[in-house]
Structure 1
Amino acid sequence: MAEDKQTARFLSSYHWTKERDGFGGYSGISLTPNGAGFIIVSDRAHLIEGTIFRHGDRIIGVRSAEMAALNIPDDLFLDPSVQDTEGLAKDNQGRLYISVESTNRVLCRDITGVWTALPDHPGLRALPHNQGLEALAIDGDGTLFALPEFSESLQVPFPVFRYRQGSGWDVPMSISRNEGFLPVGADVGPDGKLYVLERGFSGFGFSSRVRRFDFLNGYSFDGETLLTTEPRRHDNLEGLSVWAATDGTLRLTMISDDNFFFLQKTEIVEYAVS
């Protein structure tokens, strides 16, 4: 299928398979600056770490450790039986941030392994169940950004929540809502801009879009569309990590959530942005 005119150039798609209980359901990914090492979170509160191997611009293999439970204390969930972990971000100090969609809160694991919940915010509390915080991103200064897949109507933009140590949460900007796409992943690239992965769904399958935004307080805007795919071009892409290759191009690495459904697959997809 032909894709819309766009800035991003397709590099490769890798179908990742493992004979392992609980494999799949991956909703967030964070890569090391060189794009090789990864941390991936599943929506069942597990992490998996490993390495992506490439030949030129093409992914040729993935090696990973065993999946590890996040071991988040039960008292950080409203319902410990539902640990719907979706967004993932890791700061320069090694702290790990996870968004829990079912309760619309963000949890932090410090470098000693201790979990705490970030403070609450009225806008987060107002998000509906299972339509909440899907995407997390963090910049080089440790400022955290969280995006829900919900806005109040088809004409209302998506809020971008920001958390800063010592200042707490605010909502400095929003991004437009259109064409049936909802935010599911995000990252702050090496260029300091916000990249947002969005998902659309029709009866024919999933489509994906990536937009890039400058940080402008008080603005709601469309950003720059880098990538739009036709339905079924890729699987259910939910996680996004942005990094710089040695040739200076930015790379968009995305992973799909197979929903533990046999007709779907775990797919790692890469595009280049000049």
Structure 2
Amino acid sequence: MRRAVLSLFLAAVLPIAATGAASQTKPGMAPIDVHVEPIASFGRVSPETQFGEFEFRGGLVLSSPMKGFGGLSGFDVRPNGTDFVAVSDRGKWFSGRLVRNAGRLTGIEATRWGPMRDIRGRPLTRRVRSDAESVRLASSGNGAYVTFEQSNDLKFYAFTRDPALARAEIVAVPRAARGLVANQGLETVAVAPLGGPLAGSPVLVTERSLDADGNHRAFIVSGKQAGAFSIVRSDDYDVTDGAFMPNGDLLLLERKVSALPIGVNMRLRRIAGDAIRPGAVLDGPVALEAAMSEQIDNMEGLAVSTDPDGKTRVTIVSDDNLNPLQRTLLLEFVWTGPAVAVAE
């Protein structure tokens, strides 16, 4: 996660988010008070809305008086396009409903917070076991897959309404996934389209566990094509999340952290979904790239949904590392398609 480096530079450049104290006594999810501050423009100085292949559709800065809120590292949206489920890398669930006005993200409501549980139903407390990094709702709608980076586990939580009541179930990963680097391993879980060649299998991509050629190790978890493949690593970017788009492409969220005064960069990269198979080494175009001149932080969670017009919507959340000098951001974009080259 490279949190130490992030904290060094973000302490110098990012505003302070609100924190406070609260407690929870009943099992399951409990209401949480979340404050929102709208982000009018993705660019800090420019009002433009088009960034690469995406159009900015609003953003929020989230904060809460509850102690421990933040650290959001995974995010997904239900098929209705509004209800969401997120995970914190301190072993917490966060859920709620996205509010939009004229297609633009303006707020969240019905927010709830609760503990993640282990296979015995006990709340996760040990840091090495609670470092949830990505969440992806199952196609069946009856639960979610979650990756845990420090232990390099993939777990399934069966639930329909309250994830904080669900026990973890270990999901077997391919034998090729052995030997991953702790804290740089299973960062991403995406669920392939049911009707595609991978038939709904979870797909895993590592943050910085690399193969012999320096590329990100990746895995198809189940089905006839279960096995390992690679994603080309470039420009010192780490993979922090990914989700399949309606057209079948795998959209990756990537982050690069540099020493002061450069800071942090974020980008989105598209990988052809029909090319994912054991043994493949895959690359794809950069669809969006942003730096500190845009409204970004440590962007870690990605969700793909469809807006009422049928366009592909992308929602991205940042992990503030529970550092009051960082921010929890929620950003939304609509994919406008690959850029068309103009003949000179």
Taking structure 2 as the reference length, the TM-score comes to: 0.72
Match of 1:86 among 130, 133, 136: 133
Question: 1:105-162, CA deviations, whole angstroms, 9 ceiling, x for partnerless residues?
Answer: 1011224834221124443321111111111111232310111112437952212211
C-alpha spacing 1:74/1:236, structure 2 compared with 1 (3 Å): farther
Cα distance, 1:168 vs. partner? 8.8
Match of 1:228 among 276, 285, 289: 289
1:268 maps to which residue? 330
More helix by share: 2
**AA of the residue aligned to 1:118:** V
Asked if 2 retains the 8 angstrom alpha-carbon contact of 1:74 and 1:80, the reply is no
Distance in 1 between the 2:171 and 2:55 partners? 37
1:99 maps to which residue? 147
Cα distance, 1:39 vs. partner? 0.2
Cα distance, 1:5 vs. partner? 6.6
Map 1:39-118; keep pairs closer than 5 Å: 39-73=85-119, 80-82=126-128, 83-93=130-140, 94-111=142-159, 113-118=166-171
Distance in 2 between the 1:154 and 1:225 partners? 24
Structure 1 gap ranges (5+): none
Whether 1:143 and 2:205 are equivalent positions in the alignment is: no
1:19 maps to which residue? 65
C-alpha spacing 1:75/1:125, structure 2 compared with 1 (3 Å): farther
More strand by share: 1
**AA of the residue aligned to 1:196:** L
2:3 maps to which residue? none
Cα distance, 1:17 vs. partner? 1.6
**AA of the residue aligned to 1:131:** Q
Question: 1:189-231, CA deviations, whole angstroms, 9 ceiling, x for partnerless residues?
Answer: 2222211100011223221111111131243232122110023
**AA of the residue aligned to 1:219:** A
**AA of the residue aligned to 1:164:** S
Distance in 2 between the 1:19 and 1:64 partners? 16
Asked if 1 retains the 8 angstrom alpha-carbon contact of 2:174 and 2:221, the reply is no
Divergent runs of 4+, >4 A: 1-5
**AA of the residue aligned to 2:328:** T
2:180 maps to which residue? 127
Asked if 1 retains the 8 angstrom alpha-carbon contact of 2:305 and 2:313, the reply is yes
Asked if 2 retains the 8 angstrom alpha-carbon contact of 1:17 and 1:266, the reply is yes
Distance in 2 between the 1:5 and 1:51 partners? 26
Question: 1:235-273, CA deviations, whole angstroms, 9 ceiling, x for partnerless residues?
Answer: 111000111112232111100000001111110011111
Distance in 2 between the 1:208 and 1:164 partners? 30
Identity %: 28
2:242 maps to which residue? 186
Cα distance, 1:30 vs. partner? 0.6
In terms of mean alpha carbon deviation, does 117-126 or 67-76 score higher? Answer: 67-76
1:161 maps to which residue? 219
Cα distance, 1:37 vs. partner? 0.8
Asked if 2 retains the 8 angstrom alpha-carbon contact of 1:198 and 1:210, the reply is yes
Distance in 2 between the 1:52 and 1:11 partners? 13
Distance in 2 between the 1:117 and 1:262 partners? 34
Aligned length: 272
Whether 1:210 and 2:210 are equivalent positions in the alignment is: no
Asked if 2 retains the 8 angstrom alpha-carbon contact of 1:236 and 1:256, the reply is yes
Taking structure 1 as the reference length, the TM-score comes to: 0.89
Asked if 2 retains the 8 angstrom alpha-carbon contact of 1:119 and 1:168, the reply is no
**AA of the residue aligned to 1:201:** V
Asked if 2 retains the 8 angstrom alpha-carbon contact of 1:89 and 1:98, the reply is yes
Whether 1:170 and 2:227 are equivalent positions in the alignment is: yes
Distance in 1 between the 2:220 and 2:263 partners? 32
Distance in 2 between the 1:9 and 1:154 partners? 37
C-alpha spacing 1:259/1:40, structure 2 compared with 1 (3 Å): same
Asked if 2 retains the 8 angstrom alpha-carbon contact of 1:48 and 1:64, the reply is no
